[in-house]
Amino acid sequence: ETDIDDRYGDLDSRTDSDISEIPASSDRTPEILKKALSGLSSRWKNWWIRGILTLTMISLFFLIIYMGSFMLMLLVLGIQVKCFHEIITIGYRVYHSYDLPWFRTLSWYFLLCVNYFFYGETVADYFATFVQREEQLQFLIRYHRFISFALYLAGFCMFVLSLVKKHYRLQFYMFAWTHVTLLITVTQSHLVIQNLFEGMIWFLVPISSVICNDITAYLFGFFFGRTPLIKLSPKKTWEGFIGGFFSTVVFGFIAAYVLSKYQYFVCPVEYRSDVNSFVTECEPSELFQLQTYSLPPFLKAVLRQERVSLYPFQIHSIALSTFASLIGPFGGFFASGFKRAFKIKDFANTIPGHGGIMDRFDCQYLMATFVHVYITSFIRGPNPSKVLQQLLVLQPEQQLNIYKTLKTHLIEKGILQPALKV
């Protein structure tokens, strides 16, 4: 037992060179592709495999967009679960922790608890009117945070009870690993869904900008790359980074123009109980109505016109696409450093030529946080749904007092006409 304590006690003092390399995942490239590309060099073979799979994934993404907001939410949830699985599996392999008592079960239990908390918050924020009509849901929403805390507390107690003397330090390593993984995956995917509720355009433009940057940076780097960008990712080049930046800004500007024309993309996602489905119908806000702008002097000379008509969202898209191309890649660099630390090439082998799901979405999570912060800082004011939720749980007398106060305020503002006394 002393030998076991010593072996696990040395985990925190190991250097990168002390960590054994995780066996490479098996190649899952379809046999038909292997045969079709057998005559090519490994460089071009990988290029074609990545290209074909990229086009396939983009086509499926378009199909899910056509199927509506609910399917996009399910897609985000599925990606979150898969990313969690990939990261947590690396922890099991690195620390040889498959035999820890209850730990695999507890990891997934904590994932369930955190999802229950975040998605319950979403229901409370955006479906307050629907919840008010369902008595069972009223109880769950009213005490949602208490229930969430009780569920987490149960998992915490189970973890403490599962502690075994010979595994103490390793168990706490994996407990921390699980919680950091939850922070990376669940909280960020929750922000993605929050962005989606603001309007599908706030979901599509940022995500497609990251995808565009990933593709164009790869293409520019593949054909023109000569100058290494960062040691963490030896294949990344300055040529790819700069080419990806300009391509992404142009793409984001054009995509914003196209999507701003359609209510389906610009209207906030709302649930209508009368039709029992999510709807995207509204009068578009000023962000999505054409405005005329005067051009700066240097652009007047280039474009040979003084004014231009744009959707205001196109200006915001420049900020979004700039972040996607300049800061977003650092999410990929972070993931590269993580993989180098544990001597793995990819998070998994889910997508041939690409690696795991986390390999494709390492930049998306950073982007999701930025978009949410951007919306709350520069776009959205107070949330009427949250105000309504608080009003609906008040006592009737309190609701009546608020109604009278609000009516008096609106009359003073001249929005409502005072009632005529008979």
Sequence-distant (≥ 6) Cβ neighbours of residue 4 within 8 angstroms: 166
Tell me, what amino acid is at 338?
Answer: F
For 309, which DSSP code? E
Say whether both 105 and 193 belong to one domain: yes
The residue among 405, 393, 412, 375 whose CA lies nearest residue 192 is 375
> In 264-323, which ranges are E strands?
270-272, 277-279, 291-294, 307-310
Say whether both 337 and 422 belong to one domain: no
- pLDDT, residue 5, reads 46
In whole angstroms, give the CA distance from residue 118 to residue 107: 17
Tell me, what amino acid is at 227?
Answer: T
For 202, which DSSP code? H
In whole angstroms, give the CA distance from residue 2 to residue 245: 56
Domain count, the chain: 2
> Residue holding tokens 């369930």?
112
In whole angstroms, give the CA distance from residue 309 to residue 313: 12
Say whether both 317 and 400 belong to one domain: no
CA distances from 118 to 182, 198, 203 (A): 12, 17, 18
Say whether both 394 and 363 belong to one domain: no
Asked if 76 and 330 touch (Cβ cutoff 8 Å), the reply is: no
Sequence-distant (≥ 6) Cβ neighbours of residue 242 within 8 angstroms: 220
The number of helices, as runs of H, and strands, as runs of E, in the chain is: 18, 6
Tell me, what amino acid is at 168?
Answer: Y
Tell me, what amino acid is at 16?
Answer: D
Say whether both 57 and 106 belong to one domain: yes
- pLDDT, residue 268, reads 85
284-310 pLDDT, tens digit each: 888 999 999 888 888 788 878 888 899
- Return left, alpha or beta for 42; rule: phi > 0 is left, psi -120 to 50 is alpha, else beta: alpha
Say whether both 304 and 408 belong to one domain: no
When the pLDDT of each residue in the chain is averaged and rounded to a whole number, the result is 83
- pLDDT, residue 156, reads 96
- Return left, alpha or beta for 214; rule: phi > 0 is left, psi -120 to 50 is alpha, else beta: alpha
In whole angstroms, give the CA distance from residue 140 to residue 300: 59
pTM for the model:
0.81
- pLDDT, residue 2, reads 44
Residue spans of the chain under pLDDT 70: 1-31, 33-34, 96-99, 126-136, 271-278, 353, 381-386, 388-389, 393, 420-422
Domain span including residue 414: 388-422
Say whether both 195 and 233 belong to one domain: yes
- pLDDT, residue 8, reads 46
Say whether both 417 and 378 belong to one domain: no
320-347 pLDDT, tens digit each: 999 999 998 998 888 888 888 888 888 8
186-218 pLDDT, tens digit each: 988 999 998 998 889 999 999 999 999 998 998
Alpha-carbon Rg of the chain, whole angstroms?
Answer: 26
The residue among 121, 114, 116, 119 whose CA lies nearest residue 179 is 114
Torsion of CA 267, 269, 272, 277, to 10 degrees: 120
Sequence-distant (≥ 6) Cβ neighbours of residue 68 within 8 angstroms: 278
Say whether both 360 and 421 belong to one domain: no
Say whether both 257 and 404 belong to one domain: no
Say whether both 148 and 205 belong to one domain: yes
Q: Give burial (CB, 10 Å; 0-12/13-18/19+) of 42.
A: exposed
Say whether both 412 and 264 belong to one domain: no
79-116 pLDDT, tens digit each: 999 999 999 888 877 776 656 778 888 999 999 999 99
For 198, which DSSP code? T
- Work out the angle at residue 137's Cα, subtended by the Cα atoms of residues 74 and 178, and round it to the nearest 5 degrees: 50
Paired strand residues for 351: 355
- pLDDT, residue 257, reads 95
